[in-house]
Amino acid sequence: MGIFDFFNKKKKEPEYDVTNLSVKDLRQGFILDYDMKSWVVKEEYEYDWGNNNFSYEFMLDSGDEVVYLGVEDKGENFLTIMKPIKVRELGDHVYDEVVKNESPPRSIVYENETYHLESDSAGYFHDVTKGTDDWEELMSWELFSDDGTKIVNITQWDEKSVDAVAGRVIKEYEISNIIPGE
C-alpha cells in the first residue's frame, strides 16, 4: 500500500439501483414522498420471524409528524403506515388479556371500528440504526378491519411490556420520489 493509496479509497458501492429505487431499498437518511409530504427515514428496524421470513419498518419524519412504514414481502410488497397508540385505547381488558393469556381478544373495537385477529407471530426485533447486532424477542398480533384496509398491531416485548400501533394498509404507488441519503 503506497502513501497515496490511503487518499484514493473507493467509496462502497450502494446495494441498490439508484435509477430504480423501491421501498425495499429504503435506508436511514433516504427521502420519500407520501401523502403530499416529503419524509426522511430517521430509523430502520428489522424483524426476523423465522424460516428466512423478514419484515422491515422505517420511522419516517415529515417535520411535523412521525409515522412508521412497515414493509413485508407476501409475494408482493405489503405496506402499512402506522402511529403508536396507547394499549388502553383498545379497551381496558386488552392489556390484561395479553399479559394473562399471552394473546389479545379475537376482536377489538378501536375508534368505533371492529378489528379481528388475523395473525400472531413470535420473532426477533433488531434496531439497525444503532449499528449493533442486538436482537430482542417479541410476540406480535395483527388485527384487521372488516374491509382489510385498517390495521392494529399489538406487540408484547416481555411479560408486562405491551405496546400498540394503528394505521392503514397502503399501496406501493402511494410512495414516490425515493431519494438516497448521503
Beta bridge mates, 21: none
Exposed/middle/buried for residue 103 (C-beta within 10 Å: 0-12, 13-18, 19+): middle
Residue among 105, 60, 90, 96 at smallest CA distance from 165: 90
Of 5-14, 74-83, 138-147, the least confident: 5-14
Q: Alpha-carbon dihedral of residues 46, 162, 78, 59, nearest 10 degrees?
A: -60
What confidence score (pLDDT) does residue 20 get?
A: 76
DSSP state of 29: T
Residues 24-66: pLDDT tens digits?
999 999 999 999 999 999 999 999 999 999 999 999 999 999 9
Give the three-class secondary structure for 126. Answer: strand
Count the helices and strands in the chain (H runs, E runs).
Answer: 1, 11
CA atoms of 62 and 64, how far apart (whole Å):
6
Residue among 141, 39, 14, 159 at smallest CA distance from 90: 141
